[in-house]
Amino acid sequence: MTALLTRLQGDLVIARKAQDKPATLLLGTILADIKNRRIELMRDPTDEDVIEVLRKGIKRRRESIEAFDRGARADLAAKERGEVAALEKYLPAAIDPETIRAAVRAVIAGGANNIGAVMGKVLPQFKGQTDGGTVSAIAREELSARK
């Protein structure tokens, strides 16, 4: 079992003992997602797999925040923001955007001239350290600056 998965399970036990229902529900949901991922992979998940599940959970909640904001449901948006903050503490430290920008520039200088080619070469370098949206935004900026 990975260190991150052990930490999540330990925090779930602490939340249950403290009768912290929101944290218990959040961690229980994430652990269920990790269990589903384990079934998909047909092996025990690595820390990278767990981080991927966490990032997907955060992305889903951010999409919900946007929908709640559009629907003028500030109470539900605030709840989702709290969940995002709680999940982000399990992610590794975010990588500096300038490091990503340097990698994107290197790939473009190497001949990549469309977003797909750039993303295909840059994303694997930063797997588990940043989300695709950040890399995509930087890649689009750099590609448009080249034209």
- Specify the residue for token string 């559009």: 70
Does the domain spanning 3-88 belong to CATH 1.10.1510.10?
Answer: yes
- The sign of the dihedral angle between the CA atoms of 96, 97, 103, 106 is negative
Residue 3 to residue 1: CA distance in whole angstroms:
7
pLDDT tens digits, 50-79: 998 998 999 999 999 999 999 999 999 999
Buried b (16+ CB within 10 A) or exposed e, 78-93: ebbeebbebbeebbee
Q: Are 15 and 23 in contact (CB under 8 A)?
A: yes
Compute, in degrees rounded to 10, the torsion defined by CA atoms 130, 131, 135, 138.
-90
**pLDDT one digit per residue (tens) for the chain, 147 residues:** 788 999 999 999 999 999 999 999 999 999 999 999 999 999 999 988 999 899 899 999 999 999 999 999 999 999 999 999 999 999 887 788 888 888 888 888 887 778 888 888 888 888 767 777 888 888 888 878 776
Residue 119 to residue 97: CA distance in whole angstroms:
15
Query: What residue ranges do the domains of the chain occupy?
Result: 3-88, 97-146
